[in-house]
Amino acid sequence: MSTDDPADWLGDAPPVHDPHKAVRAQTRPALPKRFYKVAGLAGSEEGFRLILDGRSANTPARHPLTLPTRSLGEAIAAEWAAQAEFIDPSTMPLTRLANTAIDGVAPRRDAVIDDLSAYAGTDLVAYRAGDPERLVADQARAWNPVIDWAHETLGVRLILSEGAMHVTQPETSVNALRAAIAAVEGPFRLAALHTMTTLTGSLLIALATLHGRLTPMDAWAAAHVDEAYQASVWGSDAEAEARHALRKAEFEAAATLATLAR
């Protein structure tokens, strides 16, 4: 696929701090027509490159769209093969995340690690409600196992706070979480961790998902205990539910990418 091919519908990745927004911020509103018949893969020393009608595909920043594993490559090729008359990026979450990994994370790995490390001091699971009793119990049921896992597996001990009052976490715990982030192999799994963290507000929940301690479904539920409680008391809002569903689908795609990129 040449650099002036109509497939460049996502636009160039701008040099902004958030690698996910870097790839998505310049998305054009008009959807391009499908310009290829067959989507497939070609193996190379670097991995598995997406091929459209025999031509190599590129990312929005014109890097080779090369995937680290065949399983991830096949999943992304399937997204391209499933497009109808027009190419709709909203139906291609793995492709968008792969673009994020290649264009936004690989060249900015240290900045992404710094960004994620900031969540170590403000993690959702450290801030607890003082009442009502049911919400307190729901939070404990969902979050305590994650905290226990982080302590046993990563050597992290969090100080809990009641309400919105900020609590400073031990330096040893912050450093241990940063080390866990830095240990994530490759830009694809790091991009997945970044997406899961920003969508949930919890680095611990995202790490537990990345390491298989939580299923994506359980992780998403754990991150939205407060919202579930409020909905049970006040009822749900259709518009909010629609936004929630879109964010959940993006979270699940990130978890899938993390698994397939391993």
For residue 25, the model assigns a pLDDT of 53
**What domains can be seen in the chain, in order of their start residue?**
110-260 (1.10.3580.10)
**Spans of the chain below 70 pLDDT:** 1-29
For residue 94, the model assigns a pLDDT of 98
Predicted TM-score (pTM) of the model is 0.88
pLDDT tens, position by position, 210-234 = 999 999 999 999 999 999 999 999 9
Two structure tokens written together for 216: 């994506």
For residue 44, the model assigns a pLDDT of 87
For residue 240, the model assigns a pLDDT of 87
DSSP string, 6-62: TT-TT------S-HHHHHHTT--SSPPBP--S-EEEEE-SS-EEEEETTEE-B-TTS
| 65 neighbors 99 (Cβ within 8 angstroms) | yes
| Start-to-end Cα distance in the chain | 27
